[in-house]
Structure 1
Amino acid sequence: MGRAARRLAAVLAGGTVLLSAVPAASAAAPARTGFPAASPEYPATVQIDSLSAPVAGEGTMITVSGRVTNSGSSTVKAAHVVLRSPKEQLDTRSAINLVAGRTGPGSKDGTVLPGHKADLGDLAPGQSRPYSIQVNPGDLGLKSAGVYELAVDVRDEDEDRPLGIARTFLPYNTAPGGKQTQVATLWPITHSPELVAQTMPDNDQMPVLRDDSLATELAPGGRLGRLVSIGQTLPNLTWVIDPDLLDTVFAMTKPYRVQKPGTAGESAKEENTVAGVGQNAATAWLAQLRTAVAANGSQVVALPYADPDLASIAHNGSGLPGMDTALRKAATAGKVTAEGRLAVDVRGGVAWPYQGRLDQATAGVARTTGSDLVLVNGESMPESRSLSYTPNAARPIGNGQTAVVADPVLSSLFAGDLDSDQAQSLAEQRFLAETMTITGQRPDDQRSLLVMPSRTLTVGTAEALAEALRAASQPNGWVAPTRLDAVATAPADQDANSSVPGDYPGDLRGSELSSAALGSVMGVQTGLDQLLLILTQPQRVRGPFNAAMVRSMSTQWRDHTEAGAAYRDGVQSYLANLAAAVKVPAKSVITLPGDNATLLISVKNDLNQAVGNLQLRVSSSQVNRLNVGEAATVVLDATTSRTFRFPAEAQVNGPVQMTAQLWTTGPNSQPYGKPITFTVEVTSVASGVMYVIGGGVVLMALAGVRFYLQRKKRSAAGEVDLDPERLLEADETPAPGEDAAEAEPVTGPVSRAAAEGPGTAPDGPPGEPSDSTPESASDARDRATGDEKVGH
């Protein structure tokens, strides 16, 4: 049963006492003209909800149904609805537009048709009642095929003037004439991005969604569920699909998780996610979509993956490093993904800027994606007023690109949410009137048009568009539904506007992704590249983040700015958390006893995979006071810590500031993560130095005594040697048995790890704070014997 028939049945069942509120207004401008708001002069609000026959023919009985509401402050006595006979045929699109723009009743709306009225009784303020009037084309005075105004108004018991009026359009089609107009209709299947960069820490990498709203839309009664159900009944439909949505739905056909609110930047875990509930709905929807796109002569157009906002990128992201590469990859991935998920041939190379609005910069970005077709709203490329007919949609715009320009009036009819019978009926009738008039402009020439509804097509709007297409393409109709390719390759009219404007609509600038937002998205690549250097399984991170970066620039965020900002923040926070998961734990003050000891520095890996290609470098702010050994090679298993030993050589007591920093290895070595600065408090150096100095004084005294005795002996023998350096040189090596003056060695525990040198883990538990190791007995002995270099 069609929408008009359902509405008529409801009216007949409800009688004249059914009360209902007036449907809320919507934002689709052309579709909303024709039913003016109430005013003190015209207190009755009238609406036309349906025509039982959207297209009249010879002998066709038409039932006009709708609703009247008393929006005034006093009762309307003996209210009734009357039908007007049209004054003239509307043979141009300009004439149709004039009727749509009228407000209050007037003589141009025709004359009251005797014998055709519906009594409503008294209407109290705020009261509403339905009406229904039947008429045939002969009673209306329709004689020749064409488009006519159909108006109803409300009167009271005096019948001296109308209290309100509603208008619609009625095509009268008596016989086929001329060539049918080819009409390609875009049927968008899109949704804001849901998959996030996180996956669950398991072998299957279970997908994670930012919320579970998609499960509701995929259900049979949901938006996407209804779009597939409606679309599969239409012939030669052009399905325009975001491949990221297909990937998301495919992921939902298996177990998946959903982030809890406020956890967008965290690693996914059981405690901050919940199980998704859309597995069955996703499985059924994907199967239904595969069937729909393979039937009825359908064509599938794949947008670049995640539907990046070409206009925002053109105006605010041009020249960003990596942007062109990201767009080319998105275009390639879009086609491959759609073909793989749907198992049908897919048309790639199609760009669809936001709302179809095009300027030269956006056309240039579209070329970057490899798009030879650009879907354009006719408002961006308006026709000359001197052009007396509607030209074909396709026209070359240079650089190997073809703009397929959607008729601006037809597209605007289905740009909003037609959420009421009244809005749907008027959009349908306006579509029929416009397309019939276009076909009649040049009946011997094949016309080709593009209809571009909203990217976020709603169920009510889809129903209205489908009803309009069926009515216009019925037997003996004037419209032939066709695919996008047929319209794109039709001959271009030489007089049609093929000039791409240099300016972009100012009212759309405010919703664009900003330079800062796009810059931060591309900045993710820098951090990602560094993270990938140290991972042993980089593919587990590379793919999810590359996809999340493109999703961060999706056109869908134009209508969901806060959600888009939250998504981008979540991607960046998550990457920062991953990068910070490999780190040197913070330290404060470390006491280092002795002038030769060992610093212990820990490195922690909280990732769920092993890391490598790292070095740990420890540096001193005062190498003349405290110096450490060479860098240590860092290789860590998943979720482990390891402590590295650095031999330290101290010269002076007191605090010395040290820095521990991870570095990547390879030809382009660079710091990884934040440097950790801490203080080492050196103790016990002074006593050791004084002991060595004291020992040196004793040796000098002994040498002096020996020098005196030898000189005395030589004097007695008549020999005098005045070279003290030769004497000291001769006495530097004590004779065997003369080391009694050696100090008692300082001893202390020396672990096996200490003996193995730097870069070796201790026997103790990983992750413990840095510590020092006492000097060895041999080190102490060397220092006591004077072999230690004091003061270097």
Structure 2
Amino acid sequence: MRRIVHIGAVVATTAAVIPALAAFNPAQAPAPADPDGGGSTTAPLIVEEITPKSIGRSSTIRITGQVTNTTGSALRDVSVRFSYETYPFTERSELDAFSSGEGAQPDVEAAEVELGGPLEPGESADYTLRADASDLALSSWGVYPAAVQAFDGSGDGIGAERTFLPYRSGDGAPASVQIAWVWPLMDRPQRADEDTFLDNSLVQSLGPEGRLGRLLTAGAQSDEVSLEPEAPAEEASPPPSAAESPSGSPSASSGEAGGSAGGAEDSTDGTGSDVPVTWAVDPGLLADIERLTSPYRVTDDPQAVAEAAAGRGTSGGDAAATTSEEASPGARIWLEQARAALADGSVVSTPYASADIAALLRHGLSEDADAAVSLGRETVERVLERPADDTVALPRGGLMNTATREFYQRQGAGTFLLRDDAMPAQSWVEHTPTAQAPLSLGKGEEGTALVADSSLTDVVSRNASDPGEAALAQQRFAAETAMIAGEDTDTKRTVVAYPTSGWNPGAEYAAGMLEASGSLPWLEPVDLSEVEPSGPDAGEEREKLTYPKRGTRAELGKDYLSEIKDLRGRVRLFNSILVDGEDPFRPAVLRLESAAWRHDRDLARPARVLVEQAVERDMDKVRILPTEPVTLASATGTIGILIANDLDNHTVRVNLSLLSENPERLSIGNYEDAIEIGPGRKTTVYVELSTRVNGRTMIQMNLHNLSGEPISEEQVLAVNATGMGSQALVISGIGALVLVVALTPRALRKWARNRARRDSAAGAASAGGGEEPDEPDEPDDDGEASAGGPGVQDNDDGSTSPAPTGSDADSASSAHTAEDEDEDDDESGPGNTPAGR
């Protein structure tokens, strides 16, 4: 009934004030101008600080900020006004509607201040508004609409900001709500292979003003955690006084801490103690930061790498252009401070590089999922020098299907940090359910789901780093939690503040929210480990675990993971030659399987191409060194084949395979085919060769793993044989013997013929008077004399005359015929000459 009365009052008030607000229309405010042409985007109205964040009866509200003339002409008689509404919000959803500009601006004036003098174009002026809470006539506990507005002398609006006034006095003060903070230290994977970074953004992020730097120092809540270089002792600055404390700190918020601006009631609005924080870390990010502490390389243009690979239709080709960088001092300081800040707090972790567990399980990569968890645990303990809590699982995006839940359960998890899309409130529940709920693990086992509220997540995940955003964002956080606490319920509830993994808050905003968690009277900070289901009805307000369709659509897809599977095949082949089961590319593959690539596909492909190139480079470092052609000067010989292992940190074991192109000509003897080579070493394998025939023969040389798979490109060795082989000698000897046997009878016949002629000539000379005639020329094989020709004879004076004719010629002819017949009958060799000759 009270809610209905409040709604009616709000409607009536709105109807009454709309005509009065017609003169102020933020949509008609002058557009920001840039008189200097420098591209300035300064807002015309900035709210820098609102104190206290919640007010009591005796509080004094103080609002400070700045007005800037963003028009092209001077503004005169500028004033700033603080207005509010006298009726509180009744539903949490009204906060979003009011922030987005729905409904009329609050019109009950609480304070106004005029700025002195005209405001020239581009000129700014500070303002301070003060109002006593006792003058506001707020009647009940709740969150009230408020606004800060700037006008010129004619009443035209210059700028406006909407905000909230949480009022903690009056009737209806609720019981406190527990709040558990989960503080993310996460980022996308920064490296491709172990030594090559995709860009150099991580170095900037680790600095005092960088995203990870701000998250670390704000979450640590300690002045001892600092990323600034240490100053000499004599130059160290003294602790800030109360007047110098940063905005949002207990000393600055004197109205909350019970200072002079407030009354005794405000003393309940600040405790000054640290708020428990559970650090959620990505082990892959810790490893990336650790790698920055030694020299590294940065890819000059990742997109060019991807485009070149796409143009070739392959990931091969020239290595990407990189720039060498020195070790980062900022990375070393960040790690040192992180070890100190996280030493005593609660730490939970994702799998290595926030691997997309749901996608890996869906596409048959469960081994990679197991490796991501084990490597993640090892990395956290090595880098932070302390373990993470293995009983808490952080499913990506706070969503989890049954397969993912069973996987984390096998890994030892019993508590699961989820978003409320995974376990939404029952339709009949009108308030914010408590975060903790029992979760069935099957077979009678029960775990715990800790469900982060999505609206609160949106509020705390704001950037709020631009001028004026931090104060308004902190007021929205105070209003959101106050509305949760004020909901009608009789149970003790817990809310989990769990920003998104890419949270990038301003330093002031991040620190201010933690301070508010400890100071706002309706919040009770607790450690995440203390949140457990309680009572017999725990969990009834939430639906059972569900996996929305958007969870499946968001996973890494089949096509992308198929490319990773191909890469894993090359990695497996490389690993097969390493001793002791080493897997040096496992972290790189897991980084490629990160859920971060769901939303950053532009860098996913260059990262994969760079890893593929790194694998191929390392594969090529185990090789047979080119060899000059070999010459064998004898039937056998020994050659040396040089094999190199140019890997710096790995011992390899390979098999050498040799194959002769023509085994009948050149055969390969025994050699040591299984070889183990240390890092950066070379070894020579000696091989015996034997040749049977002179000539050139090619030997094919390959390196394989122990399973016979080739691991390098084939090399070819030319062998030239110049010495006679044994078989060739035998064949030549037999040929020579056959030739001798075939020619001997003919030589003997020729010898016998010549001898018979000499004997005949000698007998004729004796019968003719004792004068031995001149020995005729020996006929050649054709039976003709070597000097002269047929029908020619020599005269005494040396001249020639025709051969004799008639009886003399016939006698000569008859004699020659008889000799020829004797020669034809002579087939038995020497000793068969007729006796009469």
Structure 2 unaligned blocks of 5 or more: 1-23, 33-43, 222-273, 303-315, 747-837
Deviation at 1:406, TM superposition (A): 0.9
Are the structure 2 counterparts of residues 287 and 384 from structure 1 closer, same or farther at C-alpha, using a change threshold of 3 Å?
A: same
Whether 1:352 and 2:352 are equivalent positions in the alignment is no
Q: Counterparts of 1:125 and 1:609 in 2: how far apart (Å)? A: 65
Does the C-alpha gap of structure 1 residues 311 and 357 become closer, same or farther in structure 2, counting only changes over 3 Å? same
* Contact 1:118 1:133 (8 Å CA) reproduced: no
Percent of pairs with identical residues: 25
Alpha-carbon distance between aligned partners in 2 of 1:148 and 1:650, rounded to the nearest angstrom: 102
CA distance in 2 between partners of 1:163 and 1:81 (Å)? 9
8 Å contact from structure 2 (residues 671, 685) kept in 1: no
Between the aligned partners of 2:419 and 2:650, the Cα distance in structure 1 is: 52
Corresponding position: 1:452 with 2:513: no
Number of the residue aligned with 2:150 = 154
Are residues 120 and 689 of structure 1, via their aligned partners in 2, closer, same or farther at CA, if it must alter by over 3 Å? Answer: farther
Q: Deviations over 1:509-549 (max 9, x none)?
A: 6899931453256446413421313xxxx58xx37544444
State the partner residue of 2:478: 432
| Structure-2 residue corresponding to 1:187 | 183
Cα deviations by residue, 1:576-635 (Å, 9 ceiling, x for unpaired): 333322211245865656665555433223234685643322102333343322343435
Match in the other structure for 2:668: 628
Q: Is the 8 A contact 1:43 1:163 kept in 2?
A: no
| Aligned-partner SS, 1:90 | coil
Q: Shift of the alpha carbon at 1:388?
A: 0.6
* 1:63-82 correspondence runs (5 A): 63-71=62-70, 76-82=75-81
Query: 1:484 aligned to 528, 535, 556, which one?
Result: 528
CA distance in 2, matches of 1:60, 1:517: 63
Q: Unaligned 5+ residue runs, structure 1?
A: 1-35, 200-207, 709-792
- Among 399, 417, 420, the residue aligned to 1:375: 417
- Which segment drifts farther, 402-411 or 143-152? 402-411
Alignment equivalent of 1:646, drawn from 676, 687, 697: 687
Q: CA deviation at 1:311?
A: 4.6
Distance 1:655 1:703 in 2: 35
User: What amino acid sits opposite 2:622 in the alignment?
Assistant: V
Structure 1 segment 296-695 matched on structure 2, within 5 A: 298-314=345-361, 318-320=363-365, 322-330=367-375, 332-333=377-378, 336-337=381-382, 341-343=384-386, 346-359=388-401, 362-363=404-405, 366-367=408-409, 369-384=411-426, 386-399=428-441, 402-442=448-488, 444-458=490-504, 460=506, 463-474=508-519, 477-490=521-534, 492-504=538-550, 508=554, 514-516=560-562, 518-520=564-566, 522-523=568-569, 525-533=571-579, 538=580, 542=582, 544-555=584-595, 565-586=605-626, 596-608=636-648, 611=651, 613-633=653-673, 634-636=675-677, 638-651=679-692, 656-665=697-706, 668-680=707-719, 692-695=730-733
- Identify if the C-alpha distance between structure 1 residues 609 and 467 changes in structure 2 by more than 3 Å, giving closer, same or farther: closer
> For 1:701-737, what per-residue CA distance to the aligned partner results, in whole angstroms no more than 9, with x for missing partners?
66789999xxxxxxxxxxxxxxxxxxxxxxxxxxxxx
| Alpha-carbon spacing, 1:113–1:510, altered in 2? closer, same or farther (3 Å) | farther
For the residues of structure 2 that align with 1:349 and 1:551, how far apart are their CA atoms? 23
Q: Secondary structure at the match of 1:623?
A: coil
CA distance in 1: counterparts of 2:347 and 2:728, whole angstroms: 88
Trace 1:699-778 onto structure 2 (pairs within 5 A). Answer: 699-700=737-738
Counterparts of 1:610 and 1:505 in 2: how far apart (Å)?
Answer: 41
Cα contact 1:179–1:445 (8 A) shared by 2: no
CA distance in 2, matches of 1:609, 1:241: 29
Give SS of 1:674's match.
coil
Are the equivalent residues in 2 in contact too, given 1:416–1:454 (CA < 8 A)?
no
Letter in 1 for 2:714: P
8 Å contact 2:578–2:651 — kept in the other structure?
A: no
Any conservation in 2 of the 1:305–1:333 contact (CA below 8 Å)?
no
The amino acid of 2:106's aligned partner reads: G
Q: Answer whether contact 1:71 1:125 (CA < 8 A) is retained.
A: yes
Are the equivalent residues in 1 in contact too, given 2:361–2:369 (CA < 8 A)? no
Structure 1 position 389, deviation (Å): 0.3
TM-score by length of structure 2 reads: 0.66
CA distance in 1, matches of 2:327, 2:670: 51
**Secondary structure class of the residue paired with 1:58:** coil
Q: Note if contact 2:671-2:686 (Cα within 8 Å) is conserved in structure 1.
A: no
| Mapped partners of 1:83, 1:243: distance in 2 | 48
Residue of 729, 735, 747 corresponding to 1:697: 735
Q: Is the 2:150–2:157 Cα contact (8 Å) retained in structure 1? A: yes
Which of 107, 111, 127 is the equivalent residue of 1:111? Answer: 107
Give the Cα–Cα distance (whole angstroms) in 1 for the partners of residues 200 and 616 of structure 2.
25
Partners of 1:37 and 1:229 lie apart in 2 by: 41
Cα distance, 1:145 vs. partner? 1.4
Higher-Rg structure is: 2
Cα gap change, 1:324 to 1:579, in 2 (>3 Å):
same
CA offset at residue 435 of structure 1? 1.0
CA contact (8 A) 2:182 2:280 kept: yes
Larger mean CA deviation between 379-388 and 119-128 belongs to 119-128
Of 317, 322, 327, the residue aligned with 1:276 is 327
Q: Give the SS at the match of 2:712.
A: strand
Residue in structure 1 matched with residue 279 of structure 2 by the alignment: 239
CA contact (8 A) 2:141 2:173 kept: no
Q: Please name the residue that 1:169 is paired with.
A: 164
Cα contact 1:185–1:452 (8 A) shared by 2:
yes
Partner of residue 216, structure 2: 228
Distance in 2, matches of 1:411 and 1:37, equals 31
